[in-house]
Structure 1
Amino acid sequence: KDESSVVEFLNACKEDIIDNLDDFKEKQEEQQAGPFPMPVKMSGLRRYEVNLLIDNSDSKGAPVVIESNPAYPNLFGTIERQAWFGALVTDFTMIKPGALHKANGGYLVIKALDLLKWPLSYEALKRSLGQKEIKIEDVGELFGMISTRTIRPEPIPLDIKIILTGDSYIYQLLYIYDDRFQKFFKVKAHLDDRMERKEDSLLQFARMISRYCGEQKIRHVDHTGIARILEYSMELTEDREKLSLELGDISNLLKEANYFAGLDNSELIQKKHVEKTIKKRIYRCNLIEENVKELVKKDILWVETKGEKVGQVNGLSILTTGDHEFGKPGRITATVSVGREGVVTIDRESKLSGKIHTKGVMILTNSLRERCAQNKPISLTASLCFEQSYGMVEGDSASSTELYALLSALSGLPVKQGIAVTGSVSQKGEIQPVGGVTKKIEGFFDICNYKGLTGDQGVIIPEKNIRNLMLKQEVVDAVKDGQFHIWPVSTIEEGMEILSGIKAGNLQTDGTYEDGTLFRSVDERLQEIADIVRDFLKKEKEESKENEGA
């Protein structure tokens, strides 16, 4: 009695039954007149049937629905049709519900990217949220393509919470360009894909692994396997203080490790099975890395790991092939001559470098000015180049390497070729952290290991990147044995002393450096170039006056 619309409908049914009593009488089957069978006529009693769209009588709590394909019919429902004598007919029993009906009174979870693939769905969803009702309409009518006569179900009141999931980029686009997005989606929850590595989180991680193995009915993992999986999780984050929350990757790792454990007839998944799984994963997708290493080993891509040279330093870059990334060493060279063009990068002039790399070159130029232009102007032409680089160069992680090469070229002092460098530089000469440090070190180590470890080789990294090191065991063993080195530095001076073996020197009050230091040699060379430029300009000016007098 509280639902007036229901009472009104039941009264209408009562009156209709009285008016159509003949429909309830038993009738004889009519014989078909023609030779062809005719479709059976629909019963007149069909109009008294009940089309139950949603039944939540057995549900506990509010419904939670996850819609993986949010096309318009899947969200708002549809009106089906049946062929009848060559025509399409329908009635209320052919009304089918959508995800909004199923989640009404509860929660509907949709991936934002999947929803945006169906523009009609997104606009209709916002309209339903604004009007707080669900309308079941034909898609053709919404586009104005079909104007046939059909039923129009009454709108259903909507009380729902929509949860959109997606990355920050999609959120920012919708927030900026859709003025109604802020109105309908007011609560933002930014979820991290990493968590702090603490004692309780390690325990929770191990319990999660055990629970997953039980649910999937695969072998459980012993303590050595748990430890290796935790290491792998930290490798994914490139941070020893973080654990990855990309559980899909971890679950796939467990399934593959379970397979290798089965081949060994082992009752538990051990460290060796996890390690084998990781190596097999890398092997399946590192073909390009192997090809690059082969070119380096054959000296087609030229990387020197022994001796000393002026104006040449081994830089380190990261190459990504979608599901795999690796470190690639490459020579960065610098040349210096008399002129007034400043520091020029060949990659930028040939339009093969990005804006961040250009910014890094400007920063290193200003860092040089701060150290060597306190008592004189800098007049020089210097060029920097990534040798044998045939694609785009982007990022500032090689800016310190470029500055080292430039200082070597200015001072005339050679630097060790068995040392590679990564790290960005600030205007104050501070070495700043960069990404991919572990891959870069391992990439240079593989080349040095192939060409022969001498005990003098290694990599200079930013001091703040120490926490990001998750090196493979082969590199760790080489460092322990003194065959390979990792030098963390915080300033340009520290790095130059390692590369050249000469004290960098400190700036004195008169703008010069102590005798016998690297920066003293740089300062003297810059003074020499400044004198040459001044004398040349003076001579050119005098000749110009003589020509005017003549």
Structure 2
Amino acid sequence: MPLPSQRKLLPEQLRWTCDPGQFDFTTTDDLPELEGTLGQARALASIDFGLDIRESGFNLFLTGEAGTGRTSTIKNILKKKAKTEPIPSDWVYVNNFKSPDLPIALALPAGKGTELSLDMDELITTVRSIIPKALDSKEYENNKATIVEAYQEKNNELFGQLEAEAQEKGFALQRTVSGLVMVPQKEERNYTQEEYEALSDQEKGKLEEGGQELTEKLNDVLRQVRDNEKQTKESLAQLDRDLGNASVGHHIDPLREKYGESPKVLEYLNTVQEDIIANLEDFKPQQQVQSPIPGLKLPRQEPSFERYQVNVFVDNHDAEGAPVVFEPNPTYSNLFGRTEHIMQMGGTATTNFTMIKPGALHRANSGYLIVDAREVLVNPYSWDALKRCIRSAEIKFEDPLEQYRFITIVSMKPEAIPLQAKIIMIGSPWIYYLLYHLEPDYRKFFKVKVDFDSRIARTPEVLKDYALFVSTHCKNEKLLPFDRSGVAGLIEYSARLVEDQEKLSSQFMEIADLIREASYWAGKDGGGPVTHAHVANAIEQKVYRSNRIEERMQELFDDGTILVDVDGAMPGQINGLSVISLGDHTFGRPSRVTARVYLGRAGMVNIEREVKLSGPIHDKGVLILTGYLGGKFAHDKPLSFSASICFEQNYEGVEGDSASSTELYCLLSAFSGVPIRQGIAVTGSVNQHGMIQPIGGVNFKIEGFYAVCKAKGLTGEQGVIIPKSNERHLMLNDEVVQAVRDGKFHIWSVETIDQGIELLTGVAAGERQEDGTYPEESINHLVDKRLREMIESMKMFGASDKDEKKQEGEK
């Protein structure tokens, strides 16, 4: 019987062909570069909103499949936008002279940070030269000598008066190990012990009374001496301050005027001047240190002037607008900075404010920071610290390992820097939803979702932009240009990637790879423009590099190891189609599906499910078959049967419901006894009403069955039945399309099970009549008849079982 042709697809329906004539260029060298992003209107609108709104928490999360241009798009947008925004301040860290472990952060206009550092270096160099000269000057020495002489004169006068009074009373002022004491004397010498013991009690009392009175006066003198000493030290200190102010003040005053707009800088300069004056000794020439070992010269111990340096933490002197920082490795220290240490003898680690190093967040302050979401999550402490910074709007220096150390090392707590930056995270949809549902703080801090689609609508504007995209890549990477046919072939490949005649792929990573490969093969072919043939060759070579397993499987079909019939007819047997994905390569293969029906009450038995080789979606598809049969044939009788369905020679898991219509066709054939044409393979899912639903991988499935038919010999009666809703997804290769055009292979589309079973058997399915029956000799009539016969047989067996039990009971 000839095959029905009313649902046969025409060759023009099997793929969309891009017309090169619609392009008005000779090669892509004639085209400018693409400005902006190809497609992605939704994502671009979300980016504009997220970048323009300045309220807290409206950071961006760019989600979408890899290769959709998320990173390149946001970089290009920010590159243009940042240039129009003000340049942020420089940040420097300076010494806190009161608390050295709490360095001070200073904000300065862009470029002023480096200037302040150079100015301070110049100041200290100048001061180190001026102060020693001032300290060695005759004027300073004379003033110092005058103060010291006045102190000595006051002391000499006090002690002279005290000694004269003591001498009148027979005492002398003497220095002992315990200090100055009043000692009684006899004939200008001290009493001997024997002489003192020989004195009468009255004489001893008189001496003691005089000694006590003089001792009190001595204490008064010593107090006055201490007061004089204190006044002298104050006078010397004031002399040094005057010297310091005279030597340093007029050098710092220009800096005060230069940085007068920053109160914190002025305060810092004041503390610098005070510290210099308080430590003038550091500026004196250092003496050679005496070595305990004769002949060994020790180096001079120079004082450190590092405390006066300025650590230029963030330098924006050469910036052209707001900063845009992409951090590919967002470890804790790379994001939030670090404090370096110097190991010294004994294993101790020291640090100071000059060893504070910035992180990406510091460099991106008042601008934009781009990070990969996965990298942030896998690096310890990074995500939690990033949340804290956004929440507090400041960047703090913290050592996350401090609480885990057994040995405490010298550390600092630098002053926090205010944070005002847009954080942009890039991640897959899986990471986005993981954070959205499991991370409570995520929705507070990343309120703007930027969703990049993996496919875009095919419009004339998009086609022109695709050509500009090709031009941009060829020029940027110095590749051979594409002619119109080459661009057309590339666009057809893009439609093939998404399996849609009305869509194009926006996974530009794969498109860019094909551009490079096609340019390579064009170079091998003489170096002319890239044509459609070069693109086709690049695709073919790309498949060849990855399809070893497909070829090995095809050999199993060819030599009969895997049993598949592509001609003849057989009841209860059909060719289903499946897709195998190996990551870098996807291909289709036919699978023989068989069904057996017999008396029983087990219902539908899915052999794959019984041995745990099927997934839940496939199991659902099989259970739908029972619903279909019940609705179709159990309106006037109960269903009572046993049936088994099996994917023959299947040794791996089965998942998906795309074979549910295939299994139903096979089951109907087994019930009716009508053979199925083995030259037709089937794909499509089915619902309980018998409607055929779309499936994925339709092109791979058709091409996989075509390859088997071609190897076993094309008869002109072979083909594939697909769901009608999958017609727009057809982007078959040229060989299959040509075989259809030559009448050697066929593609049919169906909407219902009844349409499909008619194609497979050549027998009418049959519509239910008013009396509830189906037309004679139709498929549905034969199925209904077989089900009734099975019920009657079950009743007969049931009645005989009851009679046997009754007879046994009577006995």
User: Is TM (by shorter chain) over 0.5?
Assistant: yes
C-alpha change, 1:413 and 1:29, in structure 2 (3 Å) is: farther
Instruction: Tell whether the 8 Å contact from 1:339 to 1:381 is kept in structure 2 after alignment.
Output: yes
Counterpart residue number, 2:230: none
Counterpart residue number, 1:46: 306
SS at the partner of 1:301? coil
C-alpha change, 1:305 and 1:11, in structure 2 (3 Å) is: same
Cα displacement string for residues 495-544 of structure 1 (whole angstroms, at most 9, x for unaligned residues): 10010001110012332101121111111001100111122222222332
Using structure 2 for the length normalisation, give the TM-score.
0.66
Counterpart residue number, 1:321: 582
Distance 2:729 2:290 in 1: 86
Note the C-alpha offset of 1:460.
Answer: 0.3
Distance 1:29 1:172 in 2: 70
Query: Is the radius of gyration larger for structure 1 or structure 2?
Result: 2
Among 325, 328, 341, which residue is 1:68 paired with? 328
Note the C-alpha offset of 1:38.
Answer: 9.3
Distance 1:24 1:140 in 2: 40
Q: How many corresponding residue pairs?
A: 550
Distance 2:319 2:529 in 1: 40
Q: Which amino acid aligns with 1:138?
A: D
1:359-508 pair list within 5 angstroms: 359-508=620-769
Counterpart residue number, 2:473: 212
SS at the partner of 1:119? coil
Higher relative contact order (CA 8 A, sep 6+): 2
Distance 1:374 1:444 in 2: 38
Distance 1:188 1:111 in 2: 15
Instruction: Tell whether the 8 Å contact from 1:305 to 1:418 is kept in structure 2 after alignment.
Output: yes
1:220-369 pair list within 5 angstroms: 220-369=481-630
Distance 2:492 2:661 in 1: 30
Q: Which moved more, 1:214-223 or 1:25-34?
A: 25-34
Cα displacement string for residues 246-294 of structure 1 (whole angstroms, at most 9, x for unaligned residues): 1111111111111111111132111121111111111111111111111
1:14 partnered with 2:273:
yes
Identity %: 49
Distance 1:20 1:258 in 2: 72
Cα displacement string for residues 163-192 of structure 1 (whole angstroms, at most 9, x for unaligned residues): 122122212211111111111112222221
Instruction: Tell whether the 8 Å contact from 1:140 to 1:146 is kept in structure 2 after alignment.
Output: no
Q: Which amino acid aligns with 1:497?
A: E
Q: Which amino acid aligns with 2:274?
A: E
Note the C-alpha offset of 1:158.
Answer: 1.2
Cα displacement string for residues 204-258 of structure 1 (whole angstroms, at most 9, x for unaligned residues): 1111110111111111100111011001111111111111111111111111111
Distance 1:533 1:36 in 2: 117
Cα displacement string for residues 334-375 of structure 1 (whole angstroms, at most 9, x for unaligned residues): 000001111111000111101000100011221121111111
Distance 1:363 1:40 in 2: 94
C-alpha change, 1:3 and 1:544, in structure 2 (3 Å) is: farther
Q: Which amino acid aligns with 1:530?
A: I
Q: Which amino acid aligns with 2:664?
A: L
Q: Which amino acid aligns with 1:73?
A: S
Identify unmatched segments of 5+ residues in structure 1: none
Note the C-alpha offset of 1:43.
Answer: 5.9
Distance 1:501 1:134 in 2: 76
Note the C-alpha offset of 1:29.
Answer: 7.8
Distance 2:622 2:593 in 1: 13
Note the C-alpha offset of 1:39.
Answer: 10
Cα displacement string for residues 441-479 of structure 1 (whole angstroms, at most 9, x for unaligned residues): 000001101111000000000001111111110000000
Instruction: Tell whether the 8 Å contact from 2:474 to 2:481 is kept in structure 1 after alignment.
Output: yes
Note the C-alpha offset of 1:69.
Answer: 0.7
Q: Which amino acid aligns with 1:456?
A: E
Q: Which amino acid aligns with 1:8?
A: E
Q: Which moved more, 1:520-529 or 1:128-137?
A: 128-137
Q: Which moved more, 1:417-426 or 1:166-175?
A: 166-175
SS at the partner of 1:339? coil
Instruction: Tell whether the 8 Å contact from 1:68 to 1:110 is kept in structure 2 after alignment.
Output: yes
Cα displacement string for residues 368-402 of structure 1 (whole angstroms, at most 9, x for unaligned residues): 21111111111100000000000111000000000
C-alpha change, 1:40 and 1:420, in structure 2 (3 Å) is: farther
Distance 2:362 2:299 in 1: 34
SS at the partner of 1:44? coil
Q: Which moved more, 1:502-511 or 1:434-443?
A: 502-511
Cα displacement string for residues 300-351 of structure 1 (whole angstroms, at most 9, x for unaligned residues): 0111111110100000001111111100101000000001111111000111
1:58 partnered with 2:318:
yes
C-alpha change, 1:143 and 1:133, in structure 2 (3 Å) is: farther
Root mean square deviation of aligned Cα: 2.1
Counterpart residue number, 2:383: 122
C-alpha change, 1:403 and 1:8, in structure 2 (3 Å) is: same
Instruction: Tell whether the 8 Å contact from 1:416 to 1:500 is kept in structure 2 after alignment.
Output: yes
1:102 partnered with 2:363:
yes
Instruction: Tell whether the 8 Å contact from 1:372 to 1:511 is kept in structure 2 after alignment.
Output: no
